[in-house]
Structure 1
Amino acid sequence: MGKNRGRIRAVGVGVSVVLLVAGAAACGNDDTKDTAKAGSTASAAPASAAPTSKAPEAFAAVGYRGLKPGMAKEAGLATGALEAAPVSLLDGCTDFVYRGGPAPDKARMDAEAATEARYKDLNAKADAASGKAPAPAGTLPPNASAKDAAAAAAGSAAGAKDSAAGAKLMADATQSIVDMWTAREARDKAFLATGRASFAATGLRELVAPADARTAEGIGAGSTLDALQQAYGAKGLQLAKSGKYELPVEGQQGWKWEFTVDGGKVTGMAVADRDITCG
């Protein structure tokens, strides 16, 4: 009987040991699963946090922000890339800035309108006067009377007066041309950093890049003249009479790249067809 009790105790101890070992194994398995799960989550985190930012759109001759050469004004506004109110009406063109650009400057626009009206008026008068120049007075015959001489003198005086008025008109008309060029340059400078789009009746004729824009070759405001020449020198870049560096746009008849350079650095760039008139 004592032997049997010893055996029963032995069996009981053995069962306890087995249960303890099994429990420890189960706990170990749970820990392993938790560790594996944590490792899996940690390894998945970087994938979900991968950057999704896209490179900025390049300023290109074929278009920018949905705006394309020749596009109608209404279609250009429908892209949402431009502010709805025009910022300049000079030369009969309608200019808009990109979204977020400056509001229209009424004082500057009124000054542009006055300059253009004076330019048109004076040059129309100058053109008309150029076909009405007084004929030179003839030589009086030897037997001319005092009355004839007085009439000739009066005619000469009138001619001189007309000539003086004509000379002043021509001078004023010439100054009005200078004033128009000054107004155009002031407009261009005002939107050199913000950029703008200019429309003629036939469609988009000029696209000016904002200061932060870059071409596919990395050229933009702040680029050196050396970098500009390295990027486009072999493609036909030349210094034009306007003082800008120009480059024909391949595949787009009449369109050119225009780079404004000051102090050895690019300060502005645009693509334009200057053969398209606005008025």
Structure 2
Amino acid sequence: MGKNRAAVRAVGVGISVALLVAGAAACSSDDKKKDPAKADAAATAQPGASSAAPAPKGPEAFTAAGYRGLKPGMAKDAGLATGALEAAPVSLLDGCTDFVYKGGPAPDQARMTAEAATEARYKDLNAKADAAAGKTPAPGGTLPPNASAKDAAAAAAGSAAAAKDSAATAKLMADATQSIVDMMVARETKEKAYLATGRVSFAAAGLRELVAPAEAKTAEGIGAGTTLEALQAAYGAKGLQPAKSGKYVFPVEGQQGWQYEFTMADGKVAGMAVVNRDLKCV
């Protein structure tokens, strides 16, 4: 009798298990009909199912193809529309409009005012120097043997005037030359001010200079702090060479006029840019 009862219980347990399994399968089927995506997600969470996630992306590389949505040659309005730049310009020197990346420093109004004054003086003095250079000095001439005292006095006055004009012209030329030096200093000061933060410069024809922030690196891992030896190893075969400016440059393949520029300090990269200096600001 005991054996029969045990058998009955075993059969009952088996039936219960079968019913539970069938119920779970039915629920799973109903859930999948209601939300297939949820069901598939649950399936992947099961032991043995594939759970590989997409590999995380590394930092964006600084390349000639573009950076932070900004591309060489793109219009200023299109560049601002990317949201990668601060809206207020930080320099208007040479007729270009420069911006910093989002979160960069606010415009330095004192420096911008000084830039404007330097550029105005440069344009004024060089226009006057060009005009003066086109004038032919009046000849001093010689007095004939029978010249009167009046003739001699007139000749002396003429020579003095010519000498005075020459002195004024010489001073004008010197001032114009100094204004060129002042402009070069203003450009270098601007470059240094945004060497670490980076900046983007737009000419009338579009984006002409893309300066990388200090944290950026090229696809080859070159960036601020890279030694000259490593820079040469990475780009020596691509035409890297020193420029008159003291920077190291090499052309961008397939982009006429564009080149990489690396500013050096103490044998290491202090800043880098992609630029087309054939694109004039105005």
Could you state the TM-score of these two structures normalised by the residue count of structure 2? 0.83
Q: Give ranges in structure 1 of 5+ residues lacking alignment.
A: 1-10, 31-39
Alignment of 1:63-212 (within 5 A): 63-212=66-215
3-state SS, counterpart of residue 278 of structure 1:
coil
Amino acid at match of 2:163: A
Amino acid at match of 1:255: W
Q: 2:262 aligns with which of 256, 259, 262?
A: 259
Deviates more, 1:197-206 or 1:62-71: 62-71
3-state SS, counterpart of residue 269 of structure 2:
strand
Larger radius of gyration: 1
Cα 1:44–1:85 shift into 2, 3 Å: farther
Distance 1:23 1:156 in 2: 134
Distance 1:133 1:190 in 2: 44
Conservation of the 8 A alpha-carbon contact between 2:93 and 2:187: yes
Conservation of the 8 A alpha-carbon contact between 1:70 and 1:202: yes
3-state SS, counterpart of residue 57 of structure 1:
coil
Q: Which residue of 2 aligns with 1:224?
A: 227
Distance 1:114 1:141 in 2: 52
Q: How many residues align?
A: 258
Amino acid at match of 2:247: K
Amino acid at match of 2:140: A
Asked if 1:56 is matched to 2:59, the reply is: yes
3-state SS, counterpart of residue 101 of structure 1:
coil
Q: Which residue of 2 aligns with 1:245?
A: 248
Conservation of the 8 A alpha-carbon contact between 1:258 and 1:271: yes
Identity, % of aligned positions: 75
The CA deviation string for residues 202-228 of structure 1, in whole angstroms up to 9 with x for no partner, is: 111111111111111111111110010
Asked if 1:269 is matched to 2:276, the reply is: no
Distance 1:75 1:22 in 2: 76
The CA deviation string for residues 170-191 of structure 1, in whole angstroms up to 9 with x for no partner, is: 1111111000000000000011
Conservation of the 8 A alpha-carbon contact between 2:238 and 2:250: yes
Distance 2:210 2:277 in 1: 11
Distance 2:109 2:48 in 1: 57
Conservation of the 8 A alpha-carbon contact between 1:206 and 1:270: yes
Distance 1:92 1:100 in 2: 24
Give the CA RMSD over aligned residues: 2.6
Cα 1:168–1:201 shift into 2, 3 Å: same
Q: Give ranges in structure 2 of 5+ residues lacking alignment.
A: 15-19, 21-43
Could you state the TM-score of these two structures normalised by the residue count of structure 1? 0.84
3-state SS, counterpart of residue 161 of structure 1:
helix
3-state SS, counterpart of residue 132 of structure 1:
coil
Conservation of the 8 A alpha-carbon contact between 2:202 and 2:209: yes
